[in-house]
Structure formats: structure tokens, C-alpha cells
Amino acid sequence: MLFSARRLFVPTLTASLLLPGVSFAEDAKSRAGTALDALQVWYNTTSGLWDTVGWWNGANCMTTIADLAALDPSVMKTADFVFNNTFLNAPSSNPNPGPETRTNTKRDGLLPRTNYAGNSSDWLDSAYDDDGWWALAWIAAYDVTEENSYLNLAEGIFASLADTWGTRCGNGGIYWSTSSSYINAITNELFLSIAAHLANRVPSRKEFYVSWAQKEWNWFAAQGFIAANHTINDGLTDSCENNAQTVWSYNQGVVLGGLVELNKAAPNSSYLESANKIAKAAIETLADTSGVIHESCEPDNCQPDATVFKGVFIRNLQMLQSVSPRDIYKKTINDCANSIWKNDRNSENELGVVWSGPVVSTVDPSTQSSAMDALVAAIAV
């Protein structure tokens, strides 16, 4: 994220009048900025979260804002305010802090709350994937602020997750939650992505994070998560096989960003080869004939979680596009962003779950931030 921000040429008004490509980028920025204003109507300064959606959705709203700030410095003031306020206040909104529901965890010594928001234990709840989303959110905030307390949080969250590394399938992997032995793709993709991101941001522990990222990826690729057609399903059965559950878009996404970062930290051509296979298979599986990505739960059964997934996919597809560009990725990002703006937006600039439109069912910060991820990605391509 930081890397694309630093590479980006920020055009002057004069340049934008002369270059059609640039004026399109300006247009993409103004769409994303408008969507941000609508998102912030839900931001609650007391809770540090976005009203009507839950804890982990907050991490994704924050990531979306950080990604926009990396491309558009004019939203930095809003972004800084959110990071700072959420850092201080969100821990008291953590719905499930502490050890009470932890049956299979090594975190039993954890105290319910500390008096210091910078203590990563306050950001853990009983779902390991929730922890992972917050780690990535704080890394995204670090990328645009260079605030070390944000990076420290991500490192602390990572350490707690690494403590839960298991042995049930293939002698590795992380469970979904403290009270479940389900091994799902998302939790492990998040772990890969956090480790790989940290490898590129904490020079003194680079080898440590590279080795965790490689350990997770080697393990992940050797399990049954990835089907013969390169799509990734939800998780493993009790006997450690592909459970043939839904091909959710976010499971085709988080792994891409993880592999992009891992390839940057410890280059190996197989990482981007794998990422490209997964990205292409995802687009083939999830895009409609107009190039717009869909979730199988649309339109009515995606709340409260799956409403976020497509944005996560596009956000990570853009990361892949930034290092391994393909026309089909650029087209997918633009098709989604253009369709959202044209077909899936109401008069309040609220964005719905069905990107081909029309705006249906609940519109909330999860549908908003997810669609906004596509608007943000369109700035960068």
C-alpha cells in the first residue's frame, strides 16, 4: 500500500485537464472520497467502530480508509482521526476479550482488558480471523502514518496467533477460533499475509517473519484448500480434506496480498505464479458477463459477514496488479468500480451488496466499505 502510494504521481489540476487517463484517476478519487463521506456517517467516535456492524467489520472499514489515504493525501486528516480514535476507544468495544471462552487456546493467561490500548491483547477476541483483520488494519494504518504503535500492535497480534499454530492437519495451521477446531482458509491466509507484511516492515525481524510466512504458505499449499481449478474453498474436513464448501471471494483475495508481500520479502517466482493462477480462476468463477464480481449469497443472504468479502478480494487483486499486471485484473477492477457507481448507489451515496445493482436489502458500513474497496482500487489501476 505504501509502495503504491509512493510510486504514484499526484497530478496537478493542469495535468489532469491535459491527460484523459489522469482525469479518470481524479474521477475515481472523487468517487472514493464521496463514498468515504457516506461511510463516516456511521463512524461512532465513542465506540471507535462503525454503527450497525461488528468488531471485525470495523477492521475492514479502517483498512479501506487507510488504502484510500495511501492514494489520496486529501483524506489523510479523516484517516488520522479514525486511526487515533479507534486505537484509543475500540478496545472497550471488543465484544469478546479475555480468556472466558477459550477452550483450546494457549492464551489462557490473557487478562480481559488492559488500560493501554497499545497492548495487543485488547485487540484479540475469540475468533482468530478477527484478530488477523485487525493486524492487517493496523499495518495499513502504519503504512500511511509510520506510527510505530500501530506496527507494534500488529506484531503483538501476530505473536498471539503464532502461539496457536497447530498440529491437527499436516502438522500445522491455525484454527478458526478459540472454541473450534475447524481449520479454515481465511484464518490461515490472514496469518500468511500478516507475516509477509511484517517481514517487509520490521527489518530487525525480517527472517523470523519470512520463515513464518513460508511455513504457512508451504503448509497451506500442501493441504486440500486449493481445488484442481485453482479456486480456494472454505476449509478442511475433520479428516483434513477439502470440504467443498463455498468458494467465497475473500478466500481468493487475502492469499494474493500475502503472496505479493512474501515475494517482495523473499523472491521466488512460484509465489506470483500461484497468485496469478488463483486470481484468474477466481475471476472466471465469480465474475458475471459484464466483469462484475458476485458472491453466491447475493442478494439476501450475505449479512452480516459475507457483505465484506468482495471488497477484500478486489483490494488484494489490486496488490497483485501492482506487481504483476494483467489486462483482466485491470478490467475486473474497473468494471466493478464503474458498475457500483452507476448501478449500486442510492441518493445518499450508499453502496449495496450487489455490485451489478440495484441497491437491495441492507446498506451498511460492511456493504459500503466493501464497494469502496473497488472504488479505491480503481484509483490505482
Ligand X SMILES: *[C@@H]1O[C@H](CO)[C@@H](O)[C@H](O)[C@H]1NC(C)=O
Q: Does residue number 163 form part of the binding site for ligand X (CB under 6 A)?
A: no
Q: Does residue number 51 form part of the binding site for ligand X (CB under 6 A)?
A: yes
Shortest approach of ligand X to residue 145 CB, angstroms?
7
Shortest approach of ligand X to residue 28 CB, angstroms?
29
DSSP string covering 346-380: -TT--B-S-TTS---S---HHHHHHHHHHHHHHHH
* Nearer to ligand X among residue 254 and residue 378 (C-beta): 254
The residue number whose beta carbon is nearest to ligand X equals: 111
| H/E element, 44 | strand 43-44
Helices 148-162 and 128-145, interaxial angle, to 10°? 160
Shortest approach of ligand X to residue 271 CB, angstroms?
7
Q: Does residue number 294 form part of the binding site for ligand X (CB under 6 A)?
A: no
N- to C-terminal Cα separation, the chain: 13
What is the Cβ-side half-sphere exposure of residue 235, based on CA atoms within 13 angstroms? 17
Q: DSSP letter at 244?
A: -
Shortest approach of ligand X to residue 131 CB, angstroms?
14
In angstroms, rounded to a whole number, what is the distance separating the alpha carbons of residues 147 and 80?
10
**314 with 377: CB under 8 angstroms?**
yes
Residue 199: alpha-carbon gap to chain centroid: 18
Give the list of residues 6+ apart from residue 91 with CB closer than 8 angstroms, or none.
Answer: 48, 97, 113, 114, 117, 122, 123
Shortest approach of ligand X to residue 98 CB, angstroms?
8
Contact region with ligand X (CB under 6 A), list: 41-49, 128-136, 175-183, 302-310: 41-49
- Residue 81, number of CB atoms within 10 A of its CB: 14
In angstroms, rounded to a whole number, what is the distance separating the alpha carbons of residues 202 and 303?
36
Q: Among 23, 34, 40, 44, indicate the residue that binds ligand X (CB under 6 A).
A: 44
Q: Does residue number 41 form part of the binding site for ligand X (CB under 6 A)?
A: no
* Nearer to ligand X among residue 18 and residue 111 (C-beta): 111
Shortest approach of ligand X to residue 232 CB, angstroms?
9
Shortest approach of ligand X to residue 122 CB, angstroms?
7
Q: Does residue number 227 form part of the binding site for ligand X (CB under 6 A)?
A: yes
Shortest approach of ligand X to residue 148 CB, angstroms?
9
**301 with 257: CB under 8 angstroms?**
no
Could you give the string, one character per residue 81-120, with x where binding to ligand X holds by CB under 6 A and - elsewhere?
---x--x-----x----------------xx--x-x--x-
* Nearer to ligand X among residue 103 and residue 268 (C-beta): 268
Site for ligand X, rule CB under 6 A: 44, 46-47, 51, 84, 87, 93, 110-111, 114, 116, 119, 121, 147, 149, 218, 227, 229, 231, 247, 268, 270, 284-285
